[in-house]
Structure 1
């Protein structure tokens, strides 16, 4: 432990020693914005390219990626907001007058007998203290009578992050994508499509990256996401084959997904089929564009069936009910 005399400290003096002490005690320290921006850039680049460097436009904005899954994001936390929420712990210690050396120091040197809730730092205060006071202004409305109102156990970094982040409405389609039954690579393609991030020809043509915007598969209409996944004759043939096999209608549209499920198993299988269909249709579209190869709808339907059956066997941990067993036997499971 670092020993610091309260009487010998002046404004800004030994501040670095205090932050070293604070870091050892709780791992809390201010990170410069330039460092945080670089950290987020590395995370963003790794997400889209698997490396620290990526020079293309991301498929989905980082502001969307960092939303919780039920709000349409991937649940990745914003580094800057998380750092602010972490520093909020220092603010809370001042509110609660925690029995810590650093808290005693700021009360004696800065706050003295002033009201911390309405406190403003002096112009000659240290940089670190001014930033702590800035973060205090961000979260102070979450305190009533010096008590954090979002959590009965007091301030936590998680609750501070929830207070600071910009919340968005919950999306009705997220349970269909993030079901534990879905194969992750299928789910991520469907998620990108929900944010209109797939590079269909309509978008590429608008950016001047290709000479026409016609559908690669059917060559009848403009290749938009709506056409590719809802209207293209190719996907409709695959859909008909899969529906004949599973015995219920597969809604490619997001709006009808939950209406098919008579029980939990059928609901999960519906989600599984639906995401697999999105993934494989997009894969076939890319194969047609890059390799000029497109397999028959019957073969694609068989590929999806096999993949779904394997996933069901791996994921279904408990013994199915009698009705579910009868239903699964029709599928050969």
Structure 2
């Protein structure tokens, strides 16, 4: 899904976005269609998504999805035409460019630069956000794509938990759908809930580790500081991403079907997904020792 949206945005930018400044109404419509497709799988949904579009356009290491902001990229791309004109020292054209195309930019210093980079200009137009410490955890290439997406939403605290829905007047019971004893928040589901804590211990025991951390960020920080080889760290990331996905799925089963899968079923599902995914992506750079460790899981 993310790849499809990025592909559409990139094609628009590469072709039309380098020819002329796109009307604001057009860029807003394109953004609305992409947003609707990402969150609802259709092109005409007007409801807001779980995360605002501007945040999705942040780099992945800033907590976003790395989507292109069409309007800003369009300005940067058309700016290259202005730069090319200015290099010819045609005073009439340069004056027009400075008065027209460059109004949206902070300065025209880039016009005199001997080299022009659309990427650099676009980066300068974007508002820089602080980096997040968990982006490598989320976008680990071994993880199943839908697991990454759910994990990303969980770390942003944007999953539609009962507590979040209750705040906007949806539903009359904010308690956890699984344990029923505490208000259902992302922090509770991952991993303060006794059910999810037990599942976490089962997964870590399967991998041969014991951790006493009780929330998702703490568990991630522990894995990040893990001093073993990078491959094993990625396997742990993959399993934990699968665990977050399965717990959220179990929560939805509890809400809609009044059924909670067993902890052993969740463990077996994670084991299957992790093995199957990584076996298909194992490269030649993985050592024999790590190969043997993984096959023994």
TM-score w.r.t. length of structure 1: 0.77
For residues 256-275 of structure 1, what are the structure 2 equivalents within 5 Å? 256-275=222-241
Q: Which has the higher helix share?
A: 2
Q: Matches of 1:285 and 1:308 in 2, distance apart?
A: 21
Q: Looking at CA atoms only, which structure, 1 or 2, has the larger radius of gyration?
A: 1
How many residues align? The count is 277
Of 29, 37, 46 in structure 1, the residue corresponding to residue 20 of structure 2 is: 29
Residue 41 (str. 1) matches residue 32 (str. 2)? yes
Q: Matches of 1:27 and 1:246 in 2, distance apart?
A: 50
Q: Aligned-pair distance for 1:139? A: 4.4
Q: Aligned-pair distance for 1:27? A: 4.6
Three-state SS of the structure 1 residue aligned to 2:225 is: helix
Q: Aligned-pair distance for 1:274? A: 1.2
Of 250, 254, 270 in structure 2, the residue corresponding to residue 284 of structure 1 is: 250
Q: Report which stretch shifted further, 222-231 or 189-198.
A: 189-198
Q: Matches of 1:39 and 1:329 in 2, distance apart?
A: 46
For residues 140-159 of structure 1, what are the structure 2 equivalents within 5 Å? 140-142=108-110, 146-147=112-113, 154-159=115-120
Q: Aligned-pair distance for 1:261? A: 4.6
- The corresponding residue for 2:153 is 192
- The corresponding residue for 1:134 is 103
Distance 1:162 1:133, change over 3 A: closer
Q: Matches of 2:103 and 2:285 in 1, distance apart?
A: 56
- The corresponding residue for 1:305 is 271
Q: Matches of 1:329 and 1:36 in 2, distance apart?
A: 49
- The corresponding residue for 2:136 is 175
Which deviations, in whole Å up to 9, do the C-alpha atoms of 1:89-127 show, x marking residues without a partner? 1221133117xxxxx5xx3xx35xxxx5xx5x6xxxxxx
Q: Matches of 1:189 and 1:300 in 2, distance apart?
A: 16
- The corresponding residue for 2:10 is none
For residues 213-292 of structure 1, what are the structure 2 equivalents within 5 Å? 213-249=174-210, 252-253=216-217, 254-292=220-258
- The corresponding residue for 2:44 is 53
Q: Matches of 1:160 and 1:30 in 2, distance apart?
A: 15
For residues 65-104 of structure 1, what are the structure 2 equivalents within 5 Å? 65-97=56-88
Q: Matches of 2:122 and 2:253 in 1, distance apart?
A: 43
Q: Tell me, yes or no, if the aligned pair for 1:36 and 1:80 is still in contact at 8 Å.
A: yes
Mind listing any 5+ residue stretches in structure 2 that lack a counterpart?
1-14
Which deviations, in whole Å up to 9, do the C-alpha atoms of 1:31-76 show, x marking residues without a partner? 1111111111111111111211113221011111011111111111
- The corresponding residue for 1:324 is 290
TM-score w.r.t. length of structure 2: 0.86
The RMSD of aligned alpha carbons is 2.2
Three-state SS of the structure 2 residue aligned to 1:84 is: helix
